[in-house]
Amino acid sequence: MTNHEVEVLAIGAGPSNLALAVAIEESGATGLAADTLILEQHPDVQWQRNLLLPFARSQVSFVKDLVTLRNPQSRFSFLSFLHAKGRLDEFVNLGTFNPFRREISEYLQWVATSLDHVGVRYNARARGAAPRRADDGTVIGWRVTLADGDTIDARDLVVGTGRDARVPAEFADLPADRVIHSSQYSGRIARYPIDRPVRVAVIGAAQSAAEMFVSVHQDLPLSQPTLIHRSVGLMNYQTSKFVNELFFPSFVDDFHASSPQARKDILDEVRQTNYAGLAAPFLDETYMMLYEQKLTGSQRSAVRPMTEVVAAREEDGEVVLELRDRRTGRVERYRCDLVLLGTGYDQRMPALVRGLAAQVGLDEIEVDRRYRVDLGEDTRAGLYLQGFNEATHGISDSLLSVLAQRSHEITGDLLDRRSVTVTAGGR
């Protein structure tokens, strides 16, 4: 067990922290870049690791990569990646702005291995984090403990881990081998026997639920999937070009300057630009799959709209779901073998962040315009949050759309704070 010291420690080698790594390197602050470390709990970088399905595509333009909207000339752009891999001509010939998800994932790993100064430590799962204090109690940094017992001290901590999976209370008592959240799908479904009939209930009406519903037909060839959701019907995302201007990085300023009630109203109005919907092409493909089943007389799967799960339990070797029809109020039992949850993510701050806030005595977590948590004026340490700030920075905060500009703003704040420290120290 060893202790390491860095200036900036970022947890999670996903798009947010990789974009920050690039911004720090391209800022010219070579010393800060060399003293920045990213922790990744897995042995490699993968985007949406357990939903890298063969047919899955990004719903965001490749132009909204880690750097292009900040620096179109960057060597870390998605087009530079394609050129390096010898696929640029073929990708252009596809005539699409929406790459396959697995290609975005490959791009992220390419960026991670192309960094000159910022380090990436793999197989490094953060087991816990705590503030480090001076003799007077002032928070001067952070100590992160890894699963292998090593500790890492840093002045500034950046959390970009993504939100915690949401498992609704109705499913909380099911045995672990009977329920799979979308964040675990590919890894766990690959271990499920493929030579036995299996009744699969897929819960949800958004992209992840529909993707599992379609994929399980191939992943478990003898399965009989049923998609269960509360909505009137599966719906596509709102894709109006006027509404999409809410995803411009420049809109973050307008949103952040709005009143709390106005922010809430805006988020309610634009919910279906990102949640509770499917990409239009995939929606059509899913409907076509179901129609072809009817056409051939092999009705293998079903969709049950306007239906909510009110309870779930294991009974006599089966999973029993109690389903309520929203139209009639009638409740019936539905028996299956496996439940797939496309129920999204907990909208609270991740447990890691809530734990840190409690340790420094924060009743509320308030993040400023440059994504830094307010820890008080005298605090030397910085805590930055990436991807958890929809309430203050808008619906694009968890998406690729603002990565390039957000990383620029955090980098600017890191450098400005160090400039102030140096100036004050020289007086």
- On whether the CB atoms of residues 391 and 1 are closer than 8 A, the answer is no
pLDDT above 80: residue 356? yes
- Chosen domain end from 288, 317, 341: 341
CB-based contacts of 157, cutoff 8 Å, min separation 6:
8, 9, 10, 11, 129, 142, 144, 356, 381, 382, 383, 384
Length of the chain: 427
pLDDT value of position 304? 97
The closest of 28, 39, 54, 13 to 117, measured between CA atoms, is 28
pLDDT value of position 243? 86
pLDDT value of position 423? 52
Coil, helix or strand at residue 315: strand
> pLDDT tens digits for 279-307?
888 999 999 999 999 999 989 999 999 99
80 within domain boundaries? yes
363 within domain boundaries? yes
Coil, helix or strand at residue 305: coil
- On whether the CB atoms of residues 20 and 48 are closer than 8 A, the answer is no
243 within domain boundaries? no
Average pLDDT value for residue range 346-363: 93
Written as six digits, the tokens of 9 are 């420690």
Based on the fold, state whether residues 154 and 30 are members of the same structural domain: yes
How many structural domains compose the chain?
2
> pLDDT tens digits for 232-286?
999 988 888 888 888 899 999 999 999 999 999 999 888 877 777 888 889 999 9
251 within domain boundaries? no
Based on the fold, state whether residues 310 and 182 are members of the same structural domain: yes
Pairwise CA distance, residues 244 & 147, whole Å:
41
pLDDT band with cut points at 50, 70 and 90 for residue 427? very low
Q: Taken in order 104, 106, 112, 116, is the CA torsion positive or negative?
A: negative
Pairwise CA distance, residues 115 & 311, whole Å:
49
Alpha helices per DSSP H over 270-402: 280-296, 351-359, 390-393
Triad 349, 353, 359: Cα angle to 5°: 130
CA dihedral 157, 163, 168, 172 (to 10 degrees): -50
H or E element that contains 213: helix 207-219
Is the pTM higher than 0.85? The answer reads yes
Average pLDDT value for residue range 348-371: 94
Based on the fold, state whether residues 369 and 327 are members of the same structural domain: no
pLDDT value of position 49? 94
CB-based contacts of 70, cutoff 8 Å, min separation 6:
23, 404, 405, 407, 408
pLDDT value of position 425? 52
The CATH number that applies at residue 197 is 3.50.50.60
Sheet holding 179-181, edge to edge: 179-181, 338-341, 198-203, 223-228, 302-304
CA 268 centroid distance within chain? 20
Based on the fold, state whether residues 308 and 403 are members of the same structural domain: no
175 within domain boundaries? yes
What share of the chain has pLDDT > 90, as a percent? 88
Based on the fold, state whether residues 14 and 129 are members of the same structural domain: yes
Task: Compute the mean pLDDT over every residue in the chain, rounded to the nearest whole number.
Answer: 94
Average pLDDT value for residue range 120-136: 96
Strand partners, 36: 8
212 within domain boundaries? yes
- Chosen domain end from 296, 318, 341: 341
Domain hosting residue 85, numbered range: 3-164+346-425
Based on the fold, state whether residues 132 and 176 are members of the same structural domain: no
260 within domain boundaries? no
Based on the fold, state whether residues 314 and 360 are members of the same structural domain: no
DSSP, residue by residue, 80-112: HHHHHHT-HHHHHHHT-S--BHHHHHHHHHHHH
Written as six digits, the tokens of 209 are 């639920």
pLDDT value of position 273? 79
> pLDDT tens digits for 188-235?
999 999 999 999 999 999 999 999 999 999 999 999 999 999 999 999
CA 2 centroid distance within chain? 31
Written as six digits, the tokens of 24 are 């720090």
Based on the fold, state whether residues 137 and 150 are members of the same structural domain: yes
Based on the fold, state whether residues 126 and 189 are members of the same structural domain: no
- On whether the CB atoms of residues 185 and 154 are closer than 8 A, the answer is no
Based on the fold, state whether residues 71 and 149 are members of the same structural domain: yes
pLDDT above 60: residue 395? yes
pLDDT value of position 277? 83
pLDDT above 60: residue 21? yes
pLDDT above 60: residue 36? yes
pLDDT above 70: residue 326? yes
Based on the fold, state whether residues 28 and 119 are members of the same structural domain: yes
Lowest mean pLDDT among 82-86, 288-292, 344-348: 344-348
DSSP E strand stretches across 267-368: 302-304, 307-315, 318-325, 331-336, 338-341
The closest of 392, 389, 388, 372 to 380, measured between CA atoms, is 372
Using alpha carbons only, how large is the chain's radius of gyration in Å?
Answer: 23
249 within domain boundaries? no
Written as six digits, the tokens of 96 are 């699409």
- Chosen domain end from 321, 341, 361: 341
pLDDT above 50: residue 134? yes
H or E element that contains 425: helix 403-425
Based on the fold, state whether residues 128 and 224 are members of the same structural domain: no
Query: How many C-beta atoms lie closer than 10 Å to residue 235's C-beta?
Result: 15
